[in-house]
Amino acid sequence: MIEINQRAELEKLFLSIDSCISEFSFSNTFIFQHGYKQSIDRMGDNIIIASTDNDNNTYALLTNNLTHFSLDEIETILKKYTFIYPVDEKWLTHLGDDPRFGTEALEEDFDYLYLSEKLTTMPGRKLSKRRNLAKQYHNLYTLERKPIQKETQIDALIVLDNWANNRLDGGREGYSDYDQAKVGILNQDALGLEGYIFYSNGEPSGFCLGSTISNKTFNLLFQKGDVRYKGIYQAMNMSFAETIVGTHQYINFQQDLGDPGLRQSKSAYYPDIVLKKYSIFLK
């Protein structure tokens, strides 16, 4: 199990990787660890996060750039784990033509990255529908934005409950990150998360919560909106991007997990980068 008191050590390692991949984040790892049965494995001077996928295969999530390891060290890791994941595409050249290794990338794992500056205005014909929905929202409501702090956590929890109760697939049945989002809200300070709560005519109606994963990318862990307020997501995206544009070039909206609805909604904003994530395995 990964504990909050390991944040300083792991966060330093993840930031030194300098990748925009969403998994290279302490807060992401801590919040979602139970679904992947994650734990710390120390192999020599290296820290590996031992993980398990849906097929019960164990895999290694590295806390160092792949190029930090020799090819023989990578082989040693893969003799213990079924595969290494995620691996940034730019690191694959490190493997050369070594016949010991195979690679695979699944579309459902790819991260969606958007220029924060673009999201502040959503320019052009492709984004006109998103922009018009935000305009419709502002015609109906007054949007107010406040940082998520101890004083506003309760409002974020209200939004989370309203989001869950109004989901089109019947609320909290099936896959939902409701519990993980609640952990993030309640442990915001300890996990180093930053975010905002959004109010529509004074009523809590949306929130964004995440953390920095590289010197140019903000990892948006959770974005929840009350769909009873038409256009809330579009208005919230534009407003949140305004808070990011000065410090981060990109916002990572993470993967779609193969969910058609998520894929459609993320694609509708026309990502500037679709970040491929690879697995490495022994042939």
Q: What value does the mean pLDDT take over residues 263-278?
A: 96
Distance CA 267, CA 247 (A): 24
- Give pLDDT, residue 175: 54
* Per-residue pLDDT tens digits for 86-121: 999 999 999 999 999 999 999 999 999 999 999 999
**pLDDT band at residue 176 using 50, 70 and 90 as cut-offs:** confident
Within 10 angstroms of residue 147's Cβ, the number of other Cβ atoms is 12
Helix, strand, or coil (residue 138): helix
Q: Residue range 253-273: average pLDDT?
A: 93
Q: Which tokens is 283 given?
A: 């042939």
The pTM is what?
0.94
pLDDT in tens, 34-82: 999 999 999 999 999 999 998 999 999 999 999 999 999 999 999 999 9
Q: Can you name the residues that pair with 199 across neighbouring β-strands?
A: 144, 204
Query: Tokens for 225?
Result: 């909106």
In degrees rounded to 5, what are phi and psi of residue 194? -125, 145
The three-state secondary structure class of 218 is strand
Share of the chain above pLDDT 90, in %: 91
Secondary element (H or E) of residue 52? strand 46-52
pLDDT for the residue numbered 261: 86
Q: Given this model, what pLDDT does residue 225 score?
A: 96
Contact between 205 and 229 (Cβ < 8 Å): yes
Q: Which of 90, 87, 84 is nearest to 41 (CA)?
A: 84
DSSP per-residue codes, 219-283:
EEEEEEE-TTSTTHHHHHHHHHHHHHTTT-SEEE----TT-HHHHHHHHTT--SEEE-EEEEEE-
pLDDT attached to residue 247: 95
